[in-house]
Amino acid sequence: MTDASNHGLDRSAVLTIVTTQLAEILETTPDEIIEDAPFSDIGADSLALIELVEAIEEVLSAQVSDFHFDDEDLEELTCVRDAVDYVAAKLNLA
């Protein structure tokens, strides 16, 4: 696991990253992204999810070295909250 405590990241910052990136992919605004809504309900298919993962990795790589999603964990990401919780856990955020 990577420690992000020295990078100024917290769960709120991760939520902002996830919603901003997903909104860009779905061509909407972050305000339209509901944390608990299943990806399928907000128009995010499997391709959008892959784009989201890649975008999150790219954004976080500027702040946290070697951050990546494990391919076998992607199936467990069904909503924004899952993605945020996954990133927070990998970064050891409280």
Query: pLDDT tens-digit profile of 9-22?
Result: 899 999 999 999 99
What pLDDT sits at residue 89? Answer: 93
What pLDDT sits at residue 22? Answer: 97
Q: Quote the pTM value.
A: 0.88
Q: Which domain holds residue 85?
A: 9-90
CATH at 18:
1.10.1200.10
Asked if the structure places residue 4 within a domain, the reply is no
Token representation of residue 6: 């020295």
Query: pLDDT tens-digit profile of 7-56?
Result: 678 999 999 999 999 999 999 999 999 999 999 999 999 999 999 999 99
Q: Which residues of 24-45 are buried (b: 16+ CB within 10 A; e: fewer)?
A: ebbeeeeeebeeebebeebebe
Total domain count for the chain?
1
Read off φ and ψ for residue 62, nearest 5 degrees.
-75, -20
Look at residue 6 and tell me whether its pLDDT is greater than 50.
Answer: no
Asked if the structure places residue 34 within a domain, the reply is yes
